[in-house]
Structure 1
Amino acid sequence: MKRFLTHPIGIEQGDVPLFADFENDGPMWTGSGPREARKRVKFSEPFRGVPAVQVSISLWDVDTATAVRAEVLTDRISTEGFEIVFRTWLDTRFARLRVAWTAIGEIAHEDDWDIP
């Protein structure tokens, strides 16, 4: 469980296009085997500490001729941002993908003291 002090809590959300590989015959559309796409997201302002970040697929355009195999997760979460990671494998073909995200954590307040 992530506990917050009495500081203000900030929530930031976004919706990020990760790829559109059908447009340029990219690896998610034409490839096979293990494939990965990453995208760095930068917060509009830094959190005080590392926030909790959740991601979910908000749009997928996938070939249904084979099984749909996929995972979406976060990596390298910091006070400044994080990376969205999407993976698929075997013969699954993704044409395009968009990922929604939410970050929740403590934010700075004008009354905070910066004591070295």
Structure 2
Amino acid sequence: MSEPISDIHPFTPKSLRAVTHRQLHVQHRISLSAQTTLVLGQGELFRHVNPDDFMWNGDGDRHLNVFIAFTKPLRRVPLVQVNLMGVDASHAQNLRLKLRVSDAAVTGFVVTAHTWQDTKLAGVDISWSAFEQSNSAPPAWVAASRDQHVPS
């Protein structure tokens, strides 16, 4: 189980880009070629077990920014995709949740969880993939697929 590195603080408009929580996730690094690396990860985005936590007890627009650190820095800024794996929410309200990736860097990236109205979120789990290519040329399999002629 991963442990938070810093505390969670409520969202304020001035801190949209401010990281409010940091997580270390289980990660697997796969070298697809000498120039291309794929990093796969999964884990807890947040867990609000205290009924006073703002994603559970709040109302209206609420955001939580979480920095996911790579276990080892990449050589170039990757393309990152995030997927919802699990959600713990009250069934008394509609479930409203958006996940967004921003601020990708060689050391990690930020995932923002956004909810609104009266939705109560106690926890969110995610999986993610980060695709890094260390040079500007596409991998051989991409180049080969581009060279294939499709008869008309």
Deviations 1:41-71 (A, max 9, x none): 1112222321110001111011121211110
Q: Secondary structure at the match of 1:77?
A: strand
Q: Structure 2 matches for 1:1-116, cutoff 5 A?
A: 7-21=34-48, 23-25=49-51, 26-107=53-134
**Higher helix content, 1 or 2:** 2
Verify the 8 A CA contact 1:63 1:94 in the aligned structure 2: yes
Q: Which runs of 5+ in 1 are unaligned?
A: 1-5, 109-116
Q: In structure 2, how many angstroms separate the alpha carbons of the residues matched to 1:100 and 1:107?
A: 23
> How far apart are 1:28 and its partner, in Å?
1.0
| Identity value in percent | 28
Q: In structure 2, how many angstroms separate the alpha carbons of the residues matched to 1:102 and 1:70?
A: 20
Deviations 1:4-37 (A, max 9, x none): xx8521111111312221x112111111111111
Q: How many residues align?
A: 102
Q: Which segments of structure 1 move beyond 4 Å, counting only runs of 4 or more?
A: none
Deviations 1:73-106 (A, max 9, x none): 1111112211111000000111111111110112
Higher RCO structure (Cα 8 Å, ≥6 apart): 1
Q: Which runs of 5+ in 2 are unaligned?
A: 1-32, 136-152
| TM-score, with structure 2 as normaliser | 0.61
